[in-house]
Amino acid sequence: MLRYLIRRLGQALLVVAGVVVLTFVIMRLVPGDPAVAFTGPKATPEELAAAHRRFGLDDPIPVQLLDYVRDLLSGDWGISLHTKQPVRDDLYLAFPASLELVGTALVIAVVVGIPVGVLAARFKTKFPDIGVRLGSVLAVSIPVFWLALALQLVFASTLDWFPIAGEYDGELDTTSPLTLWTNITIVDALITGNWPIFTSTLHHLVLPALVVAAYPTGVIAQMTRAALIEEGGQDHTRLERALGFGETSILTRFALRPALNPVLSLIALVFAYSLVNGFLVEAIFNWPGLGRYAADSIRSLDTPAIAGVTLLVAVMYVLANLVVDILQGFVDPRTRAR
């Protein structure tokens, strides 16, 4: 197991190194002079030259890459061009908000997706199964940005059941200010017992979380169904059936636990996917997360900020894959051989 761990960690490090290089290359592709973007169009030649020196833009490319890696390692992720703040500080505020949104969405996806998958497997090829299969394919086929607009129109603008946008009511910042611990608003509100902000955040979370949850719910339901049906063909199922267990209890008492193994891996992977999918949703619901930050960065051609977001999400993705593989290695020793 230790050897497997070390090999898997080594692979992950190699991939992260590649990710850093690829991010650097993408940033080098940006047309125009980053120094101009930083100093503004009216800068004097002296100011431009100073900016060039400051960011090392006159150095050879390999030296710039080395500098970039050294800065990243020492925690310097550059200065955002549009907020003028260190990118790391910006991410430190934006990432928890995204985690809050995606985390809530994944809870919804698991709570809905797994039972729905069990239901489909229990009534395979019957009406509930057809409904679940159609519904789950539909859920992964909806463009998130469009679903976000549609839910906003129906449940916020027309019915007025939920707020249109934002993370919580802005006026609560003055009436009951929030003490930050984790930067995840809903967690901080819970820890500090700040009920006005807690309920307001929950209320604001419903619509965007439902939109982000659509895709993971669909794939989790599909995977649960497929894995359960797979288990249904195993010898132990035949034995249980021979012993007189009913179909429902075979599914829930015996088949579900081994079937959840692939579903767990799926959850970790779908987490990173939803983080990016959430970008589009955050922009529409004005959620103060990575997506809104990325959208603002795109608009102002803010390369350090874009690089920061890209790198952070890619590293999260590598981590998610690593966690999946390590968990699989523990649960199912056969995977270690690969």
Do the Cβ atoms of 17 and 296 come closer than 8 Å?
no
AA identity, residue 13: L
**The Cα angle at residue 301 between residues 295 and 304, in degrees rounded to 5:** 90
Positions 14 through 43 that interact with other proteins (CB under 8 A) = 14-16, 18-19, 21-23, 26-27, 29-31
Roughly how many angstroms between the first and final C-alpha of the chain, as a whole number?
Answer: 12
Nearer to other proteins, 178 or 295 (CB): 295
- What is the CB neighbour count within 10 angstroms for residue 114? 22
Site string for other proteins, 86-115 (x = CB under 8 A): ------------------------------
Residues 6+ apart with CB under 8 A from 164: 152, 156, 157, 285
Span near other proteins by CB under 8 A; candidates 70-78, 173-181, 184-192, 217-225:
217-225
Which residues does residue 174 pair with via DSSP β-bridges, in sequence order?
none
Structure-token match 């299969």, residue found = 133
In angstroms, what is the minimal distance from the CB of 313 to other proteins?
5
Please tell me whether residue 145 binds other proteins under the rule CB under 8 A.
Answer: yes
Distance between CA atoms of 30 and 79, rounded to whole angstroms?
17
Of 15 and 178, nearer to other proteins (C-beta) is: 15
Kindly provide the b/e burial profile for residues 245-280, where b requires at least 16 CB atoms within 10 angstroms of the residue's own CB.
Answer: eebeebbeebbbebbbebbebbbbbbbbbbbbbbbb
The structure tokens listed for 158 are: 């027309």
Task: Identify the sign of the CA torsion 35, 36, 40, 46.
Answer: positive
Of the pair 96, 329, the CB lying nearest other proteins is at: 329
Comparing CB distances to other proteins, the nearer of 80 and 194 is: 80
- Residue with structure tokens 């590649």? 18
Task: Give the residue, chosen from 277, 287, 288, 289, that forms a contact with other proteins under the rule CB under 8 A.
Answer: 277
**Residue (18 or 177) nearer to other proteins, CB:** 18
Q: Which is nearer to other proteins, 147 or 186 (CB)?
A: 147
Instruction: Verify binding: residue 334, other proteins, rule CB under 8 A.
Output: yes
DSSP 8-class letter at 158: I
From 138, 180, 191, 239, residue interacting with other proteins (rule: CB under 8 A): 138
Our finding on whether 205 is near other proteins (CB under 8 A) is no
C-beta pairs of 42-45 under 8 Å, 24+ apart in sequence = none
Q: Interface residues with other proteins (CB under 8 A)? A: 11, 14-16, 18-19, 21-23, 26-27, 29-31, 133-134, 137-138, 140-146, 149-150, 152-153, 157, 219, 222-223, 226-227, 230, 233, 261-262, 265-266, 269-270, 272-273, 275-277, 279-280, 294-295, 298, 303, 306, 310, 313-314, 317-318, 321, 324-325, 328, 332, 334-335, 338
